[in-house]
Amino acid sequence: MRNVAVIGSQWGDEGKGKIVDWLSEQADVVVRFQGGHNAGHTLVVGNTTYKLSLLPSGVVRPDKLSVIGAGVVVDPWALLSEIKTVQGLGVKVSPETLLVADNASLILGVHQQIDKAREALRGERKIGTTGRGIGPAYEDKVARRAIRVSDLSDPGELRTKLSELFAHHNIYLKAAGEPLVSVDQAFAELTEIAPQILSYAAPVWRHLEDLRRRDKRILFEGAQGVMLDVDHGTYPYVTSSNTVAGQAATGSGTGPTTVGYVLGITKAYTTRVGSGPFPSELTDEIGQQLGERGHEFGTVTGRKRRCGWFDAVMVRQAIVTAGITGIALTKLDVLDGFSELKVCDGYELDGEKLDYFPSGTKAQASVRPIYRTLEGWSQSTRGARSWADLPGNAVKYIRLIEELIHAPVALLSTSPEREDTILVKNPFED
Ligand code: GDP
Ligand code: IMO
Ligand code: MG
């Protein structure tokens, strides 16, 4: 028996929520360890669809503990509003079922203001952020200015820290011609919700250690994807946290050996929201069809996702940099009915062939995909629950992906529904 970390292996929205939900039946606790409410994880359970941004996807199962680790940036208002929304859908959330790390950093209104102002300043070169204040909040954390959850319990300290923080930001806001932020207002707003947030606050690392010693199963839930990792992704078109599996340990307060298996959630084609390089992007009718069939609209911002063929070079690299053991291949059903499918298995740059994704911004924008072409399948795979139900050409497609990315398929997903999942190898079992 071992613990499992689920991470995205592409540019996010691979179907992490669906797979975490499916796996959480076997887990005792589900832990979010990075990102914030820039994430949008969709769970479809019977007639109910849950869209979760901050709450771990195990929250919908009554007997599971949900944990938000120190590596997450927490917008306290977004958290309370999400709790209310899921409670409205019949989910029980209480300080017994949800723990928020007392050392997690907070996202405040000023972070969202700066996020949007910066994007506007970048103009055409904007990152295409979700506007949720993620980048500015992580900057404050690293710069040792952040307000943390535990600061809410000490009004004197909170006011002093807010004064320092806002003195810093108002210099920029003034220069940028933005409205200035008020310490009094932020202090009043935070003290109003402090009791509610503090009811969930806990030394998460201690709880996890206790669970680990009692051989409880921990499922770590990543947000975003490896290509949005601040070090290993398509920098600067990335998010502001590490999305690789090592962060599961760092962002929750445990050691790397606590994570036994790393499951990389991998879409059977590629999508990306926001700006940045995307070598296998399709701006033609096929890209349009992928988007329509896959309902590729952002869960958080509603933006249309860019679509393209499966990029095996990118995923192969993600598997190495993120330490992925095996993958869950999702949305295979979206490829039903295409007469021909392409898979990128190399790039061309200035007449040379590359078998990896280079790190330079110009090179990343200039590589051209080299494709392998496969025959598609006309039968439907939607809702398939057994390997034997898959058409021969779908199996060939999966096998080629495994061969090119150097990792096995452990799970296969064939619809948004929880149970439309084929188990090949259980990640929790040795
Ligand atoms: P996440 O951010 O990785 O959790 O993914 P999102 O929830 O943002 O986006 C994935 C979308 O695909 C959601 O609407 C899911 O309901 C849906 N989905 C997940 N798995 C499958 C699948 O196997 N087939 C289809 N057709 N849709 C899926
Ligand atoms: P889930 O967990 C897809 C993208 C944004 C933008 C970049 C930086 O649902 O897979 P940020 O607001 O984080 O500073 O934006 O990262 N991005 C995501 N794209 N899925 C996500 O999360 C994302 N979270 C951030 O679109 O390009
Ligand atoms: Mg998403």
Q: What is the pLDDT of residues 147-186, one digit of tens each?
A: 999 999 999 999 999 999 999 999 999 999 999 999 999 9
Give the C-alpha separation, 93 to 399, whole Å.
42
Residues 68, 29: Cα–Cα separation, whole Å: 11
Residue 371 scores a pLDDT above 80: yes
Number of the ligand 2 atom closest to the C-alpha atom of 273: 26
pLDDT at 299 over 90: no
* C-alpha 14 – ligand 1 centre gap (Å): 6
* pLDDT at residue 375, rounded to an integer: 98
Using most ligand atoms within 8 A of CB, pick from 331, 418, 423 the residue to mutate for ligand 1: 331
User: In this predicted model, what pLDDT tens digit does every residue of 395-415 receive, in sequence order?
Assistant: 999 999 999 999 999 999 999
- Cα–Cα distances in angstroms (integers) from residue 208 to residues 28, 101, 202, 214, in the given order: 11, 11, 11, 10
Question: Which residue's alpha carbon is nearest to atom 9 within ligand 1?
Answer: 13
Atom in ligand 2 nearest the alpha carbon of residue 130: 12
CA distance 287 to 243: 26
List the one residue out of 119, 120, 72 whose CA is nearest residue 100: 72
75-97 residues labelled b (16+ CB within 10 A) or e (exposed): bbbbbeebbeebeeeebebeeeb
What pLDDT score does 342 carry? 98
The residue whose CA has the least distance to atom 13 of ligand 2 is 239
Is residue 430 scored above 90 in pLDDT?
no
Ligand nearest to the CA of 265: 1
Positions marked active-site: 13, 41
Bridge-based pairing state of the strands 310-311 and 368-375:
unpaired
Q: What is the number of the ligand 1 atom nearest to the C-alpha of 296?
A: 11
Ligand 1 center from residue 305 Cα (angstroms): 12
Q: State in Å: Cα 24 to ligand 3 middle.
A: 18
Provide the pLDDT for residue 308: 98
Nearest to 247 by CA among 259, 239, 235, 261: 259
Question: Hey, which bits of 285-339 come out as E strands?
Answer: 306-308, 310-311, 326-330
pLDDT in tens, 190-218: 999 999 999 999 999 999 999 999 999 99
269 CA distance to ligand 2 middle (Å): 18
Nearest ligand by distance to the CA of 51: 1
HSE-up (13 A, CA, CB side) for residue 356? 10
